[in-house]
Structure 1
Amino acid sequence: MNYNIPEDLKGLTASEVAASRKKYGCNRLDAVKKESWADLLVNILKEPMLILLICVSFIYVLTADYGEALFMFAAIVGVTAISFYQDNRSKKALEELEKLNEPLSKVIRDSKIIDIPTFEIAVGDLCITEEGNLINADGRIVHSNDFSVNESSLTGESFSVFKDSRSEDHKVYSGTITVSGLAVFEVENIGKETKVGKIGQSILNIKTEISPLQLQIRNFVKGMAIIGLIIFLAVCVFSFVKTGDFVTSLLSGLTLAMSVLPEEIPVAFTTFMALGAWKLMREGIIIKRSSIVETLGSVSVICTDKTGTITENSMQLKHLYDYRSDRIYEETEFGTKELHELIDYAMWSSEPVPFDPMEMTLHKIYEQNRKPDQRKDYQMFHEYPLEGKPPMMTHLFENEHKNRIIAAKGAPEAILNVSDFSELEKNKIRNIIKEFGEQGYRVLGVAKSHFEGNNFPEKQQDFSFEFLGLTVFYDPPKKGIKNVFQHIYDAGIKVKVITGDNADTTKAIAMQAGIMNDEPAVNGNEVTSSSEDDLKKISEKTTLFTRMFPEAKLDVVNALKAQGNVVAMLGDGVNDGPALKAAHIGVAMGNKGTEIAKSAAALVITNDDLEKLVVGIAAGRRIYANIKKAVQYIISIHIPIILTVSLPLFLGWVFPHIFTPVHVIFLELVMGPTCSIVYENEPMEKDAMQKPPRALTDTFLNWKELTISIIQGLVITAGILWLYQYSVGLGNDESKTRSLVFSTLIFGNILLSLVNRSFYYSMLESFKNRNILLAGISVLVVLLLLTILYVSPVSGFFSVTALNIKELGLTLLTASISVLWFEIYKLLKRFYFRK
């Protein structure tokens, strides 16, 4: 883009940047503390499972069971390695996200305009800020063009302030927003030395609020830990009273404590969220916080801006209506003499250096059809920015001969209101506007005025204007947008269009884009004048909200939230900022979105493709479903471990210590990767995007789901304990019984991980969803089991005996019956309770 910046503004050289950075540091409010390997290790060693393992290891050392002690130390290394692996995956994913979330700033260096990460801004840099940008450092204006800034983040005043290099206050401040025009400023303060840095340090200490799902999982794990502690004490006391052997009693208690503790759950949650965010990043969806992934799957209402979100934001000028000739002109007729004045004033009412697509088009049409080009001869000396409801803007230009141009444009109704027209004439123009609007066209009114002297009216509406005509733009819907909205509706999600455009244009574009609507549009004034209860009803039934301004957009988003909806707000402009911030998920456009929209949003779509939001919602649903599957698997498999360790002891069976810490930790090492690596990689079920969204207030695991997991666990327990008693009945010794029980539990574990891939579709159907990790880990576990059973030193260490084919077949049959009954349940569910 040509910024018309003076040639003498050359900026810093590379050596000057390096010197400045050495003296003043980076443009960050606080240095990011990187975790060292020692910090990571300390955090991992704080985990309850590691503490239990260390306790067991030392007991084995004290009792001179060095083989078991060595295995426990190896297990500690194994668990630590898995934790390191997961932490590293999560950390790297979050670091990549952090890099992409870093906003870019335009600076002049070595006479070139370049984009740099904001933290690289150096004192002395020449920064360029333009309409919609967030200013990222304090500085002094050295060049500007129609520049105004909103400093409400510092002053609390909501109106914009015009500034230039000659103003009394010619400074700009970090955290403020460029409302109009362009400015080049020399950076004076960065990071903690900026005005916002000095008053905003306390913000850095505010902790991010944890999500409802995180809270539910944390409470569940705490509850299980408390149960584990109680059972640990009960087993220790019971065993000691019965045997009088303190060490054996302590080991029994610790074995049970390890079997109860579901430490895999928080690890799985963190991994799923971080890797989900990272995978979405590769799809072109940048997520600011990984916990947003969970919320994405719950979106029930999408509020979308029209221009640039549903439409291409290309703004082609299709027609011009000239009032004097009372004619509508096509594109091929724009060179007609009668249109000269209308084209001139449409261009003069635009910004001298245009940013808005419509204004860029008007400048281009002026260039093509008006010779000579008078833009260099006139200077803008006064401006009324875009304001009012409906909005309009007025520019005043003057040349060296003191000839003036006063040009205005805006919403047609706003221009009609300030024009000296009879009501009959106004209605005639309104009918023309309505016809254009019904075809999906965007219409602007253009007017001119004359004013002598410099005692200008306080409001632009107080000028006496002459209506010149209409500019008619067409911004077509994006290609494939109908399919996108169909996917959104299929997923049970409502769509609301919230736009500054008029009702007729919005209705036409909505129909072309495939948005379902059978209610009349509601405008911004109706929204802000409605009571809280009325607004809830309006926001629920209305699809099209037109002539909306920032406060009205915010009101609609808050009304939808108040009804329990999970709201995603899509926008790209400065006026979308408050609504983007207030929504559960603010979604900004990466290409055409303003910096303020991107900084207010929780999610940025890099290529402005709305289909990416559908991808994000699908990913959110997949991840949420997979976390549930992982947790249900953990609950189901923990139950047989807990009961196989405790019941023989409490019931006084012949082999009370059928499992020792060695067996339990092996099972834990199998379960960890299964739930946190395998289930994270599980593809989305085929009907996931045909279901309505879940309510955000839903309990993570409801009683029905929890009951199913408990029943699964109890049936597996019943199969294992039946085989235990069957083995004892055959006169088998402890080693043989342990082999049978242990093998059954391993096979049950593998089968359960396959069955629980879906709680609706059959296991065979789930095989169509390829998950190489699941197959790999299942094969590895079977090979480890065979090693334990048939490699003498290993079987001796695990205190098991080799099984013959018949016995191994019996364990597999018992595990199959204990787990695969659930396939019959799923079949009945599909047959009788079709969704």
Structure 2
Amino acid sequence: MSYNIPDNLKGLSAAEVNASRAKYGWNQLSDNHKNTWFELLVDILKEPMLILLIIISMIYVFVGNYGEAVFMFVAIVAVTAISFYQDNRSKKALEELEKLNEPLSTVIRDGKVSEIPTHEIVVGDLCITEEGRIINADGRILHSNDFSVNESSLTGESFSVFKDSKSEDNLVYGGTVTVSGLAVFEVTEIGKETRVGKIGESIKNIKEEISPLQVQIQKFVKAMAIVGILIFLIVCVYSFIDSGNLVASLLNGLTLAMSVLPEEIPVAFTTFMALGAWKLMREGIIIKRSSIVETLGSTTVICTDKTGTITENSMQLKYLYNYATDSSYDQERFEKSDLRELIDYAMWSSEPVPFDPMEITLHKIYEKTQNQDLRKEYALFHEYPLDGKPPMMTHLFENTGKDRIIAAKGAPEAILSVSKLPDSEKDKIRAIVKSYGEQGFRLLGVGKAKFEGNNFPAKQQDFEFQFLGLTVFYDPPKKGIQEVFQDIYDAGIKVKVITGDNADTTKAIAAQGGIRILTPPINGSEIVNRSEAEIMAIAEQTTLFTRMFPDAKLAVVNALKKKGEVVAMLGDGVNDGPALKAAHIGVAMGNKGTEIAKSAAALIITNDDLQKLIIGIAAGRRIYANIKKAVQYIISIHIPIILTVSLPLFLGWVFPQIFSPVHVIFLELVMGPTCSIVYENEPIEKDTMKRPPRAMSDTFLSINELGISIVQGLIITIGILFVYQFTVQQGGTEEKTRAMVFTTLIFANILLSYANRSFHYSILESFKNRNLLLVGISIAVLLFLVVILYVAPVAQFFAVAALSGYELGIALSVATASVLWFEVYKLIGRIVRAKKV
């Protein structure tokens, strides 16, 4: 892009950049400290499970059971390695997301304009800022073009301040927002030395708010930790009174405490969210904080812009209406001399360096149709930025001979309202506007004015404008957009279109795009003066919101939230910032989005494709469902471990210490990877995007879901205790009984991990969704079991006896029965649901 910057502004050389960075450092507010592998390791060693393992291993060393102590130390290494692997994967995923979330800054170096990551700005750099961009360092203005800045982030005053190199205050500050125009400034302060950096030091310790799901998981884990402590104390006291053996009592208590702790749950949550965000990043969806993935799946309403989201944002100029001749002209007749003034003023009312697609088109039409290009002869010396309800903008140009051009464009209603036309003529033009709008065309009115002197009106509406005509653009709906909206509706999500365009155009394009329109459009001015209850009713019932401005957008988003909706708001402009910030999920467009919009949003779609949001919602639903599967698996499999350890002890059975810490830690090593690695990799179920979104107010596990998990665990327990008593009745030794119970529990564990892949579809149906990690871990666990049972030294260490084929068959049969009854339950559920449909 050309910025028309003076030739004398060359910027720093590469050597000067390096020298400045060596002296002043990087442009970042914090030290950007990253956890080293050692710090990750220290954090892992603070986990309750590892602390218990260390205590148990020390007890074994103390009593001289060195074999068990060595195994415990090996287990410590294994658990640490698994935790380190999971934490490191999450850490790397979040670091990659952090890099993508960093804004770029435009600088001049070695006489060339380029974009660099903001943290690479150095003192002495020449930075370019323009409308809609955040200033990323403090500096002094060297060159500007109708530049104004909003400094409310520092001063609290929300009005814009015009500045230039000759102003008494010619400084700009990091964190402030460019409202209009363009400026080149020399960086004087970076990082912590900027004004916002000094303010930021006082708030850097504020912690990020955690999500509702995180709160529920933390409460559950804390409750189970308390239960574990109580059980430890009860078992220790009971066992000591019964046996008088303090060491054995401690080991019994610690074994049961280990079986109660669900330490896999927070690890699984962190892993699922971080890797989910990382996978979305690879799809072109940048998520600023990983916990937003949880909210994505709950989206109930999508509020979308029209231009560039539903449409291609191509802005093809199809017709020109010239008021002087009262005629419309198609593209083939744009070179008619009758149209030169209209095209002239349409171009002059655009930015000198256009960014908006319509303004780019107007510049191109000017180049093709005008005999003499006057753009280099006239300089923009005053500007009224886009404002008003409906909006318009005005530019004042002047050449060296003091000849002036005052040009305005905006919504046809806005230009008509400031033009001195009879009401009958205005009505005629409104009829033309309506006719074009109903066909899906987007129109701009164009006007011109004259003014002597420099005492310009405070408002552009105070000029006396002459109405010149209309520019008629067509921005066609994107290919495949109807299918996208059908997918959204199939997922039970409502759609609202919130746009600055007029009602007729919006309604036509929305209909062409496949949006279901059940009520008439509402415009922004009809919203803001209503009561809160009225706005809530309008927001819920209305699909199309037109001529919307920031306060109206914010009012609609807040009203939908109060109605209990989970709102995803799509926006790209400076004026979308408040609504993006207020929505549960603010979504900015990566290509056409301003830096303000990207800063306010929680999620950025890099290619402006609405289909990506559907992918994000599907990912959110998949991840949430998989976390539930992992947690239900953990609950179900912990119950038989807890009861198998405790019941023989409390009921005084012949072999009270059927499991030692060695057996429990092996089971923990099986469960950890299964829940936090295997289930994270579980594909989405085929009808997930045909179900309605879950309510944010729902508890993580419903009473029914929790009940199913408990019943699954109890039935597995019944099966295992049956095997225990069966083996004892057959005259089995303690080693044989332990081997049968342990093997049955391992088989049940593996089968449960397959059965719980879906709580709706059969286990055979779930095999169609390949999960090679699950297969790999299952095979590895079975191989370990073979080693434990049939390699004599290992069997002796685990205090088990080898099992015959008949005994293995008994264990497998009982495990299958105690797990796969759930398939009958799922079948009945499918039949009942099918009858309801």
Range class of TM-score, shorter chain? over 0.9
Is the partner of 2:77 in helix, strand or coil?
A: helix
CA apart distance, 1:460? 1.5
CA apart distance, 1:40? 1.5
> Conserved in 2, the CA contact under 8 Å of 1:60 and 1:68?
yes
**How far apart are the structure 2 equivalents of 1:546 and 1:794?**
74
CA apart distance, 1:161? 2.1
Mean Cα deviation higher: 622-631 or 175-184:
175-184
Partner of 2:722: 722
CA apart distance, 1:457? 2.0
Give the aligned residue type for 1:469.
Answer: G
Are 1:286 and 2:267 an aligned pair? no
CA apart distance, 1:386? 1.4
Give the aligned residue type for 2:706.
Answer: L
**How far apart are the structure 2 equivalents of 1:227 and 1:742?**
24
Is the partner of 1:473 in helix, strand or coil?
A: strand
Aligned counterparts, 1:477-496, within 5 A? 477-496=477-496
> Conserved in 1, the CA contact under 8 Å of 2:300 and 2:567?
yes
Partner of 2:124: 124
Is the partner of 1:198 in helix, strand or coil?
A: helix
**How far apart are the structure 2 equivalents of 1:34 and 1:73?**
29
Are 1:430 and 2:430 an aligned pair? yes
Partner of 2:781: 781
Is the partner of 1:408 in helix, strand or coil?
A: strand
> Conserved in 2, the CA contact under 8 Å of 1:645 and 1:657?
yes
Give the aligned residue type for 2:480.
Answer: G
**How far apart are the structure 2 equivalents of 1:712 and 1:247?**
34
| Gaps in structure 1 of 5+ consecutive residues | none
Partner of 2:384: 384
> Conserved in 1, the CA contact under 8 Å of 2:682 and 2:771?
yes
Partner of 1:674: 674
Are 1:10 and 2:14 an aligned pair? no
Is the partner of 1:833 in helix, strand or coil?
A: helix
Give the aligned residue type for 1:116.
Answer: I
Mean Cα deviation higher: 613-622 or 152-161:
152-161
CA apart distance, 1:441? 1.0
How big is each residue's C-alpha offset from its partner over 1:739-792, in whole Å with a ceiling of 9 and x where there is no partner? 110000000000000000000000000000000000000111111111111111
Partner of 1:261: 261
Give the aligned residue type for 2:398.
Answer: E
Partner of 1:650: 650
How big is each residue's C-alpha offset from its partner over 1:392-420, in whole Å with a ceiling of 9 and x where there is no partner? 11122222222222111111001111111
CA apart distance, 1:337? 0.7
Is the partner of 2:202 in helix, strand or coil?
A: helix
CA apart distance, 1:452? 2.2
CA apart distance, 1:515? 1.0
Give the aligned residue type for 1:400.
Answer: T
**How far apart are the structure 2 equivalents of 1:783 and 1:645?**
24
Mean Cα deviation higher: 819-828 or 450-459:
450-459
**How far apart are the structure 1 equivalents of 2:399 and 2:6?**
20
Is the partner of 1:50 in helix, strand or coil?
A: helix
Is the partner of 2:116 in helix, strand or coil?
A: strand
Are 1:498 and 2:506 an aligned pair? no
Partner of 2:579: 579
**How far apart are the structure 1 equivalents of 2:161 and 2:344?**
28
**How far apart are the structure 2 equivalents of 1:344 and 1:260?**
78
Partner of 2:341: 341
Aligned counterparts, 1:740-755, within 5 A? 740-755=740-755
**How far apart are the structure 1 equivalents of 2:77 and 2:459?**
74
Mean Cα deviation higher: 502-511 or 192-201:
192-201
**How far apart are the structure 2 equivalents of 1:305 and 1:397?**
33
**How far apart are the structure 2 equivalents of 1:690 and 1:174?**
46
Partner of 1:685: 685
**How far apart are the structure 1 equivalents of 2:271 and 2:557?**
31
**How far apart are the structure 2 equivalents of 1:199 and 1:636?**
50
> Conserved in 2, the CA contact under 8 Å of 1:305 and 1:571?
yes
Give the aligned residue type for 1:68.
Answer: E
Are 1:772 and 2:764 an aligned pair? no
**How far apart are the structure 1 equivalents of 2:406 and 2:368?**
22
**How far apart are the structure 1 equivalents of 2:451 and 2:459?**
14
Partner of 2:23: 23
Are 1:694 and 2:694 an aligned pair? yes
Are 1:618 and 2:614 an aligned pair? no
Give the aligned residue type for 1:689.
Answer: M
Mean Cα deviation higher: 618-627 or 130-139:
130-139
CA apart distance, 1:140? 1.2
**How far apart are the structure 1 equivalents of 2:428 and 2:671?**
75
Aligned counterparts, 1:770-809, within 5 A? 770-809=770-809
**How far apart are the structure 1 equivalents of 2:551 and 2:154?**
20
* TM value normalised by structure 2: 0.99
Aligned counterparts, 1:195-214, within 5 A? 195-214=195-214
How big is each residue's C-alpha offset from its partner over 1:314-349, in whole Å with a ceiling of 9 and x where there is no partner? 211111000010001001111001101101111111
**How far apart are the structure 2 equivalents of 1:625 and 1:178?**
43
Mean Cα deviation higher: 761-770 or 481-490:
481-490
> Conserved in 1, the CA contact under 8 Å of 2:146 and 2:381?
no
Runs of at least 4 residues off by over 4 Å:
none
CA apart distance, 1:200? 2.7
Are 1:560 and 2:565 an aligned pair? no
How big is each residue's C-alpha offset from its partner over 1:559-590, in whole Å with a ceiling of 9 and x where there is no partner? 11111111111111111111111111111111
Give the aligned residue type for 1:607.
Answer: N
> Conserved in 1, the CA contact under 8 Å of 2:150 and 2:176?
yes
Aligned counterparts, 1:295-334, within 5 A? 295-334=295-334
**How far apart are the structure 2 equivalents of 1:157 and 1:520?**
38
CA apart distance, 1:554? 1.0
Mean Cα deviation higher: 252-261 or 353-362:
353-362
Partner of 1:222: 222
Are 1:370 and 2:370 an aligned pair? yes
Give the aligned residue type for 1:733.
Answer: T
Give the aligned residue type for 2:94.
Answer: L
> Conserved in 2, the CA contact under 8 Å of 1:130 and 1:181?
yes
> Conserved in 2, the CA contact under 8 Å of 1:107 and 1:125?
yes
CA apart distance, 1:199? 2.1
Are 1:65 and 2:78 an aligned pair? no
**How far apart are the structure 2 equivalents of 1:437 and 1:14?**
53
How big is each residue's C-alpha offset from its partner over 1:416-457, in whole Å with a ceiling of 9 and x where there is no partner? 111111211111100100011111111111111122222322
Partner of 2:246: 246
Partner of 1:352: 352
Give the aligned residue type for 2:103.
Answer: P
Give the aligned residue type for 2:362.
Answer: L
**How far apart are the structure 1 equivalents of 2:359 and 2:38?**
57
Give the aligned residue type for 2:19.
Answer: A
Are 1:521 and 2:560 an aligned pair? no
Give the aligned residue type for 2:472.
Answer: V
Aligned counterparts, 1:173-184, within 5 A? 173-184=173-184
Partner of 1:510: 510
> Conserved in 2, the CA contact under 8 Å of 1:148 and 1:181?
yes
> Conserved in 2, the CA contact under 8 Å of 1:268 and 1:675?
yes
CA apart distance, 1:84? 0.6
Is the partner of 1:203 in helix, strand or coil?
A: coil
Are 1:153 and 2:165 an aligned pair? no
CA apart distance, 1:157? 2.2
Give the aligned residue type for 1:186.
Answer: E
Is the partner of 2:178 in helix, strand or coil?
A: strand
* TM value normalised by structure 1: 0.99
**How far apart are the structure 1 equivalents of 2:248 and 2:781?**
29
Are 1:114 and 2:114 an aligned pair? yes
**How far apart are the structure 1 equivalents of 2:99 and 2:751?**
41
**How far apart are the structure 2 equivalents of 1:337 and 1:34?**
65
Cα RMSD for the two superposed structures: 1.0
CA apart distance, 1:303? 0.7
Give the aligned residue type for 2:375.
Answer: R
Identity in percent: 75
Mean Cα deviation higher: 762-771 or 2-11:
2-11
Are 1:443 and 2:443 an aligned pair? yes
CA apart distance, 1:361? 1.1
**How far apart are the structure 1 equivalents of 2:812 and 2:819?**
10
Give the aligned residue type for 1:346.
Answer: A
Is the partner of 2:528 in helix, strand or coil?
A: helix
> Conserved in 2, the CA contact under 8 Å of 1:309 and 1:571?
no
Are 1:470 and 2:470 an aligned pair? yes
Are 1:169 and 2:155 an aligned pair? no
Is the partner of 1:205 in helix, strand or coil?
A: coil
**How far apart are the structure 2 equivalents of 1:18 and 1:409?**
46
Partner of 1:589: 589
CA apart distance, 1:144? 1.6
